[in-house]
């Protein structure tokens, strides 16, 4: 199973990195969100806030890539008529869909470089990483956790043919409740416990703390703990939903 997962991650990363047109979206979206944040937050005259916004915009794209990659891949397989073959293969479906989600999140990490470069060149955002080692580890930890959160969502994509549209609709709610650009203190108090359950919260905090000089290790640890939990929950959901889809004979329906 491990080789299947590693091969899947490598394959989907290569696939997603081949098309310059698709990659332009990966670069442009976070740059635009970061630019909006720079223009608005510049009024506060706090350079560290702008660097923090860069990481927020990057994690926003990471989540988008996971949703788009997983739902898009399943939809494409439905259209190509290969989804039944994938489900019928002896390899567990988790080892097929998990890598798509993680691959999407890893492609989303391209955004970190793009946004930091954009901010430094055009907005004079100071790029100084306080804990380089922790920062280097925080990136894959965030990608893994965000990707595996996508696995839970992807399990529903097996069941519903229009899951892509529902997946897209989750982008802004997740961005809001995880405090990526807007501090949670500004939001209603019931949002905070929800944010604790969602990986982008901890992925962003890990990057933020490592770059700006805080304590990133608890956040990186939370990413790993949540990754394990998501894998267990997503794997279980996937088995259950796959069974339902097979029983209904709805796998192929486009």
Partner 1 sequence: MNTLRVVFVGGLTSYRALFNWISPWIFIPHTLGYPVFEILFFAYLGRFAGVQSDQFFLIGNAFLAIAVTGMFGMGHATAGERRSQTLAALLASPANRFAVFLGRALPSIVTGCFVAATSFTICAAVLGVHVTFSSLPGLALATVAAAFACTALGLCLGALGLRGRNVSVFADVIGACMLVVSGANVPLHLLPGWVQTISSGIPLTHGIAAARAIANGASIGSTADLLAKEALIGCIYLVAGLTMLRLFEYEGRRTASLETF
| Binding-site ranges for partner 1 (CB under 8 A) | 19, 21-22, 24-25, 28-29, 32-33, 35-37, 39-41, 43-44, 79, 161-162, 165-166, 168-169, 171-173, 175-176, 181-183, 186-187
User: To the nearest whole angstrom, how small is the minimum distance from the Cβ of residue 18 to partner 1?
Assistant: 12
User: To the nearest whole angstrom, how small is the minimum distance from the Cβ of residue 162 to partner 1?
Assistant: 4
What 3-state DSSP class applies to 192? helix
Quick one: 5 or 168, whose CB is closer to partner 1?
A: 168
Quick one: 90 or 183, whose CB is closer to partner 1?
A: 183
CB contact at 8 A, 151 and 94 = yes
CA atoms within 13 A on the CB side of 203: 35
Quick one: 141 or 245, whose CB is closer to partner 1?
A: 245
User: To the nearest whole angstrom, how small is the minimum distance from the Cβ of residue 209 to partner 1?
Assistant: 19
Quick one: 176 or 212, whose CB is closer to partner 1?
A: 176
User: To the nearest whole angstrom, how small is the minimum distance from the Cβ of residue 164 to partner 1?
Assistant: 9
* CB-based burial, 195-207: b 16+ in 10 Å, e otherwise: beebbbbbbbbbb
Quick one: 28 or 244, whose CB is closer to partner 1?
A: 28
Residues 6+ apart with CB under 8 A from 175: 60, 63, 181, 200
User: To the nearest whole angstrom, how small is the minimum distance from the Cβ of residue 101 to partner 1?
Assistant: 20
């Amino acid at each position: 199973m491990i080789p299947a997962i590693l091969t899947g991650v490598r394959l989907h990363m290569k696939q997603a990195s081949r098309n310059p047109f698709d990659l332009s979206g990966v670069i442009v979206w976070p740059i635009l969100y970061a630019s909006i944040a720079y223009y608005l937050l510049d009024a506060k005259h706090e350079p560290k806030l702008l660097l923090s916004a860069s990481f927020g915009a990057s994690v926003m794209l990471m989540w988008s890539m996971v949703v788009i990659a997983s739902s898009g891949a399943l939809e494409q397989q439905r259209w190509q008529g290969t989804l039944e073959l994938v489900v019928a293969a002896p390899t567990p479906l988790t080892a097929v869909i998990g890598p798509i989600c993680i691959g999407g999140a890893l492609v989303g990490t391209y955004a970190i470089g793009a946004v930091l470069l954009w901010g430094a060149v055009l907005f004079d955002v100071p790029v100084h990483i306080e804990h380089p080692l922790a920062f280097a580890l925080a990136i894959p930890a965030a990608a893994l956790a965000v990707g595996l959160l996508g696995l839970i969502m992807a399990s529903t994509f097996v069941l519903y043919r229009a899951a892509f549209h529902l997946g897209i609709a989750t982008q802004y709610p997740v961005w809001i409740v995880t405090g990526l650009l807007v501090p949670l203190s500004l939001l209603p108090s019931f949002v905070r416990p929800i944010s604790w359950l969602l990986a982008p919260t901890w992925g962003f905090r890990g990057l933020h703390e490592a770059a700006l000089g805080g304590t990133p290790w608890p956040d990186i640890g939370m990413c790993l703990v949540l990754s394990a939990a998501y894998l267990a929950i997503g794997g279980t959901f996937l088995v259950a939903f796959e069974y339902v889809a097979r029983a209904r004979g709805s796998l192929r329906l486009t």
